[in-house]
A and B are shown apart, each in its own frame.
Chain A
Amino acid sequence: MCDIIWCKKTQADGKPCETVNYLDPYCFWNWKGNINCAHCGTVYAIHMIQGHMYKGPDEQPAGTKPDTSPLYADKPLEGYINYPSGMEGRTRPFHCLPRHIYLGVPDMVKFSIRGKPLRGWRPQPKSAGIAGQFPYNWEMEKLSPEVAAEYKEKIAKGEVKEW
């Protein structure tokens, strides 16, 4: 990690900001420009050489546009409340599939992208054999009639493809 920016800017409530903005070497190792504090948005000019702060952080007048944002930031004096990376306007954004669509209730995938049924979802029925021996021919009608029915529906709708 490069040198950090510890923001001490006095806030509206009279207390200092006390946010540690972490700068990652992939972006800031040899870097010169303006960067915002993730908490209060104060813009600092820095010039970093080989991960060490050469000039700055110098506070810029309000309204200066930052070139980029820190990787992430936290407030160590307040129990490490943090700003994780990728928060628009606070920490450096990255373009990535929005993770929230994957969060929440686990949704077992029942069909592959071409529409044919998958097996191996959970919970699994108790093994029929002994010593971990599994039956290799899974009869979908018996094990999960609702998936079998859905599969028939899919075939009827033409949603099952070869590729």
Chain B
Amino acid sequence: MIEAKGLTPRQFLDKVLEPEKESDHICWQCEFLKPVIKGSSFPPADIIGWCMKIHWPYYWCVADFNVVKKCYVFKQKG
């Protein structure tokens, strides 16, 4: 059970989808990142997650080694 008290829906979702890794990507602050969830063994080791926006409706793999510092679709998550 995840404690939801005082969290916005977005913050709650971030708790549910606890990411596998941390990095300097600006994507972590972005509404459109779907992170690789902790404990998932299947996705390639070099991705932090998927960008759901740039190629929507397809998802784009955000690589770990390409640190994204700025992005034209960036949207601060609420």
Name A's B-contacting residues (CB within 8 A): 3, 47, 49-55
Contact = CB atoms under 8 A, between A and B. Distances in A.
A100 B69 CA distance: 63
B: contact size bracket: under 10
B9 interface: yes
Given A47-B9, A49-B9, A54 B4 contact: yes
Contact of B17 (A50, A53, A54): A50
A58 to B, nearest CB: 12
B50 to A, nearest CB: 15
- Interface residues of chain B: helix, strand, loop or mixed (majority): loop
- Interface residues of chain A: helix, strand, loop or mixed (majority): strand
A32 to B, nearest CB: 9
Contact of A53 (B4, B7, B9, B13): B4
Interface of B: 1-2, 4, 7, 9, 12-13, 16-17
Contacts of A54: 4, 7, 9, 12
B16 A50 contact: yes
B29 to A, nearest CB: 19
A3 B4 CA distance: 14
A50 B4 CA distance: 13
Nearest to B15: A52
Contacts of A52: 2, 12, 16
By Cβ-Cβ distance, the 4 closest A-B pairs, closest first, are A50-B16, A54-B12, A54-B4, A52-B16
A55 B3 CA distance: 10
B4 A55 contact: yes
A8 to B, nearest CB: 16
Nearest to A56: B4
